[in-house]
Structure 1
């Protein structure tokens, strides 16, 4: 298995689980999400114990899941409640999964439910914080989830893949530093007195900066298991302290990346950007979301074609350069966790 199981992954956004059940394959398992009578999200195997139908194709009635094939009623604990005209007390219990709704996401624990500790869900300080705004989306990508982690932990590709938005030669020319800080891998790059690329120039104009001033730019990528990458990004007017510049001299954001394997070779990618400037400007939020969506669409094409090549040339070994250090360390951390899980079985 190429992923951890005893960990919290984002399985869906809160608004995806409404009056109807949601079926989604995550970590090799088909799951059905629904809200119980108190509005809490529940998750069970997407498998009716009667004839194997997908429970997610049914409906929710009085906080329980009703199979759309023969009307079997399933509880959030995986126990069959009833079925019209049938005795169901001997029906086998299906798998339930620990879930937590937090920060606008539905977090799911794919391993043993009794080991799930909600305190280990990462804290997202911008959620419901009036000083911040957040917008994002979801992509289904036909590529191994670790390729996306590699991509996000090595931003030198921006110079080439995103040349018309956030890319610039200085990213290539400025060395990055990679460290391992406890359970986090950090790759950082700081650029001084450079031109702002189009995306960041537009952000500066949003806070009233005119012309094309020189800026200091930063990229600080943080990977934490099982597959989360948060990236501090932004620019400040040159000569005002860079990353530490006062808020009226900079535009500061955090790119949010929650990556959940579907099966080997495909993933669900929950992407977004939280910004700490002009938080009340809904039009700006949508403009940034659309721009970021276009940027990540470029990544999607690269990663899917990369996966096709890796499948076609499975005998080839990939090379590792100094710019790959963040992804290499992140993969190593994942492997260490998987090894510990395997040893405890």
Structure 2
């Protein structure tokens, strides 16, 4: 269903600055908090005393204090103390590898011995002052793979996002799909089209005319286990399109971190990174607001789709050429999941 030997975005740092956070990731119930010296810690959200949720407690001097009977838990999963009790024989609870990087908190829900922080893929936009980022989080009631399908095929924009980023030329433009190792890339280029409302606003944000034809592009990158970065943008027509000089275009990266919660729910960390006018905070807020509406539309469609699939589990779905990106991404996910299963020994 989902690979566990992988890094997933668990939360944003501000979610755990004031108190612990309980979050289920890949069916693992985890409590996140800031331990000693402000370092992020992640432990099983289960108090060994009576099974209470540790995330409902508080942090005191870098230790997680259970809100039920005051048991004090260390970052290593061992009980430190409990009022009126000897705790030497208390069993340790599970801990999870956790890293704070690129402006997010990442967790490894699988085999801790395989958790190498170097496996977190580089994000240039997250480390450079030449980029601005604004985003948010949605809790979506659907299989995360449905969102992978959605983002690797942007044909739906014409219909789901008709008032913001959709336009008929999306349907009319061919899509190319390629797989390189464990990554999938789908690309669509539209030349000499009028920009839709979202992109007209961005052209104005970069002091460019918004009422002239543009060359538009969408390049979707699937990166295991379930991260999708989409290069998007428009340039004044005839100026080079994707490769146009920055003064003639607006380009961004749509950021999609899809973190499975259960088989039918997910945490969707979404946003947009841009490298034009990065210090314009009003523009960042404007883009974020526009994106929030777009992704809310996706959420509505996918949750309804998930309900249908649960009602009709035996219905066979059609696969079209526009589905190639999602199909290839799912094959990689399936391969990673299969690799984690115990190997059967032949008799």
TM-score calculated relative to the size of structure 2: 0.98
Maintained 8 Å contact 2:64/2:72: yes
Q: Secondary structure at the match of 1:127?
A: helix
Determine the structure 2 residue equivalent to 1:319. 318
Partner of 1:59: 58
In 2, distance between residues paired with 1:122 and 1:159? 31
Aligned-residue CA RMSD (Å)? 0.9
Per-residue deviation, 1:202: 0.8
Question: What's the secondary structure of 1:298's corresponding residue?
Answer: helix
Query: What do the CA deviations read for 1:81-124 (whole angstroms, capped 9, x no partner)?
Result: 11111011111111100000001100000011121010010111
Between the aligned partners of 1:12 and 1:215, the Cα distance in structure 2 is: 37
TM-score by length of 1: 0.98
Matches for 1:1-345 after TM superposition, within 5 Å: 2-343=1-342
What is the distance in 1 between the residues matched to 2:169 and 2:268?
28
- Offset of residue 210 of structure 1: 2.6
> Which structure 1 residue ranges, 4+ long, deviate > 2 Å from structure 2?
none
Counterparts in 2 of 1:73 and 1:6: CA distance versus 1, 3 Å: same
Q: How many residues align?
A: 344
Unmatched segments (≥5 aa) in structure 1:
none
Separation of aligned partners in 2, 1:178 and 1:324:
10
Contact 2:12 2:105 in 1 (8 A): yes
**SS of residue paired to 1:96:** coil
SS of residue in 1 equivalent to 2:279: coil
SS in 2 for 1:16: helix
Per-residue CA deviation, residues 45-82 of structure 1 (Å, 9 max, x unaligned), is 10000000000111101101000111101011111111
Distance in structure 2 (CA, Å) of the matches to 1:207 and 1:92: 58
Contact 2:203 2:210 in 1 (8 A): no
CA drift at 1:211:
4.7
CA distance in structure 2 between the aligned counterparts of 1:36 and 1:261, rounded to whole angstroms: 25
- Please tell me whether the aligned partners of residues 195 and 210 of structure 2 are also in contact (alpha carbons under 8 angstroms): no
After TM superposition, give the deviation of residue 128 of structure 1 in Å: 4.0
CA distance in 2, matches of 1:143, 1:254: 24
Q: CA deviation at 1:25?
A: 1.0
Distance 2:339 2:127 in 1: 36
